[in-house]
Chains A and B, each alone.
Chain A
Amino acid sequence: MKIILNGKSKKVNSNQKVIDLIGLLKIDSKFIAVAVNGEFVSKKNYSKIFLNDGDVVEVVSPHPGG
């Protein structure tokens, strides 16, 4: 299936959870936060939320800001 990850189309296996996507990206979840279809997903829910075809996923990290 295809998801939109940070604005770009990405192929992922079906039945993937948010935690699987984080693993795929090889990033430490400490430094990131996630939203699926515009809704925040807390770290404790990464292993509970399944991704669906067409989901829009945002993965963000700290960035300089004013």
Chain B
Amino acid sequence: MKVTFQIWRQDGPTDKGRLKDYEVDGLTEDMSFLEALDHLNELLVLKNEKVIAYEYDCREGICGQCGIFINGRAHGPHANMTTCQLHMRSFNDGDTIVVEPWRAQAFPVVKDLIVDRSALDRIIEQGGYISAKTGTAPEANSIPIGKDVADKAMDAAACIGCGACVATCKNASAALFTSAKINHLNSLPQGKPEQHRRVLEMTKQMAYEGFGHCTFTGACEVECPEGISIVNIAELNARILKARLLG
């Protein structure tokens, strides 16, 4: 199969950047999208050209590294999927595939398709943890938690921090990410002692990093590889109100 990639090339943060065309032949439908990019990079090496920089790690949909904007969608044309789980069978022979880095003020481009997502880490640093003694794992039944609460916390905890929510949001809002992290910890007894401080500090950092406001377009929950519901953002808003009044 043969496709034309139009890939964003940018030498560094200060470079202006541009889309460059690459016609790539010899692909198969069973190749993952990242393997197709690997194939292209091998061809570029043989031609002594600079390879395309992009991020990946696990290639099994759990690490959140492979964030790329493909043909106008975060992580490609499918809903709730990471880029590494996307295969070339999702495209047709002869297609033109436009490949761009995540776009957000808070995600500056490092090189080509790689952006700096450490703004999300700094939100976590403001309260995405519990201040409890570490050590050996505690006895599982020492803190009883109802299944409904545990399920909800686990659904929120599934966030892999890929940044697709920010990338797809027209406002570059990190509300889905931040709400998932907060709701995960605040709904469990372990997270209760610091709940209000966590809400206030993490949302403050979110604003400070230059992410936009959530206007509930709902695009984030469609592109989220973990299918984290936008209801989390509504719940975060309730938590903010509560924290402002009680915190």
Whether chain B is bound by chain A comes out as: no
Question: CB within 8 Å of A: which residues of B?
Answer: none
